[in-house]
């Protein structure tokens, strides 16, 4: 795969690449079709606090392809991004998440749940992003205080002025922000400080080996300290064992997401413990 070869690999047009391009083109067409055929679905993965209480969910898109079965977002989100289809897809995700918030708001047990949605770079960069998001919230009646946007470090470096303006406006409406995959990108801490972020999300690549790799442990610990001193919430993703959860708690990380607590599931299954 091209990804495994790294970004600096320079290759000229060859048959393998040609096939690759054709495959991407086919996939673009299929994404467009999938939107029309309603093949996408949002799954929800619980986020819990240190008491074990479910406080929210991350919305994760799933594509149920009639022939290929479930296609991973790692496969089609990059293609949706480069083709611009992410704008349509992104609108659909926002709309879906808003409807789910409205459904959850109607029951006391789920009223306060916060949905975190992943926003991709191109989606956030578009000029109408703020307006479209606020319109969707208004139209559906979803509570903006129950919506969190997951952004990544890499998408925040391009146009600071524009990004800060957008974030501030959304924040004024009660929308919160989480920095996803934190620790895997590059961003200056001085700049981070200027952004109205509420939460750092420790990437699962660090959480995975936190008990066996002292470097990963050091990074996780540093992120937790950083969040504490910046008065941000910190949540760990990819928590798979009780031992990982307990280590994180001992370091001061009090929010968790991962298979140990629950896999991403359809909204209908959310909260139905097995």
Q: Give me the residues that bind ligand C2E (CB under 6 A), please.
A: 45, 59-61, 72-74, 77, 93, 118, 120, 150, 180-181, 204, 237-240, 258-259, 264
Shortest approach of ligand C2E to residue 184 CB, angstroms?
Answer: 9
Contact 234, 253 (CB under 8 A): yes
Within residues 150-169, the interface with Mg ion by CB under 5 A covers: 150
Nearer to Mg ion, 73 or 196 (CB): 73
**Which one of Mg ion, ligand C2E, none interacts with residue 264, CB within 5 to 8 A by kind?**
ligand C2E
**Which one of ligand C2E, Mg ion, none interacts with residue 74, CB within 5 to 8 A by kind?**
ligand C2E
Contact 79, 113 (CB under 8 A): no
Shortest approach of ligand C2E to residue 213 CB, angstroms?
Answer: 16
Q: Which of 197, 153, 203, 157 has its CA nearest to residue 177?
A: 197
Shortest approach of ligand C2E to residue 194 CB, angstroms?
Answer: 23
**Which one of Mg ion, ligand C2E, none interacts with residue 238, CB within 5 to 8 A by kind?**
ligand C2E
Contact 206, 196 (CB under 8 A): no
Residue 118 as a binder of Mg ion (CB under 5 A): the answer is yes
Residue 180 as a binder of Mg ion (CB under 5 A): the answer is yes
| Pairing label, strands 233-236, 255-257 | parallel
Nearer to Mg ion, 153 or 237 (CB): 237
By beta-carbon distance, which residue lies closest to ligand C2E?
A: 258
Using the rule CB under 5 A, give the single segment among 25-33, 36-44, 142-150, 239-247 that binds Mg ion. Answer: 142-150
Helices (H), the chain: 2-5, 15-36, 73-83, 86-105, 121-125, 129-140, 160-172, 189-192, 204-208, 214-229, 242-251
Q: Which of 192, 223, 226, 227 has its CA nearest to residue 210?
A: 223
Contact 149, 116 (CB under 8 A): yes
Shortest approach of ligand C2E to residue 40 CB, angstroms?
Answer: 9
Return the DSSP state at 267.
G
Nearer to Mg ion, 30 or 181 (CB): 181
Residue 181 as a binder of Mg ion (CB under 5 A): the answer is yes
Shortest approach of ligand C2E to residue 41 CB, angstroms?
Answer: 10
DSSP-assigned letters across all residues of 134-184:
HHHHHHHT--GGGEEEEEEGGGGSS-HHHHHHHHHHHHHTT-EEEEEEETS
Nearer to ligand C2E, 123 or 251 (CB): 123
By the criterion CB under 5 A, which residues form the site for Mg ion? Answer: 118, 150, 180-181, 237
């Amino acid at each position: 795969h091209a990804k495994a070869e790294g970004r600096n690999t320079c290759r000229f047009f060859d048959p393998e690449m040609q096939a690759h391009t054709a495959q991407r083109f086919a996939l673009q067409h299929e994404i467009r079709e999938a939107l029309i055929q309603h093949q996408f679905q949002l799954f929800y993965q619980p986020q819990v606090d240190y008491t074990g209480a479910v406080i929210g969910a991350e919305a994760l898109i799933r594509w149920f392809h009639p022939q290929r079965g479930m296609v991973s977002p790692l496969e089609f989100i990059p293609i949706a991004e480069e083709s611009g289809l992410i704008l349509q897809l992104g609108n659909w995700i926002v709309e879906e998440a808003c409807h789910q918030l409205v459904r959850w708001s109607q029951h006391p047990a789920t009223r306060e749940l916060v949905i975190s949605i992943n926003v991709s770079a191109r989606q956030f960069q578009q000029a109408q992003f703020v307006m479209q998001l606020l319109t969707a919230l208004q139209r559906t009646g979803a509570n903006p205080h129950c919506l969190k946007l997951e952004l990544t470090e890499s998408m925040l470096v391009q146009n600071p002025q524009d990004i800060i303006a957008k974030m501030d406006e959304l924040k004024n409406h009660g929308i919160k922000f989480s920095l996803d995959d934190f620790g895997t990108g590059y961003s200056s801490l001085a700049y981070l400080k200027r952004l109205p972020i509420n939460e750092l999300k420790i990437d699962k690549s660090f959480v995975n080996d936190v008990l066996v790799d002292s470097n990963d442990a050091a990074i996780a610990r540093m992120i937790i300290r950083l969040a504490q001193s910046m008065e941000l919430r910190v949540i760990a993703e990819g928590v798979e064992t009780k031992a990982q959860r307990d280590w994180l708690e001992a370091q001061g990380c009090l929010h968790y997401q991962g298979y140990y607590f629950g896999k991403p599931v359809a909204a209908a299954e959310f909260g139905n413990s097995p």
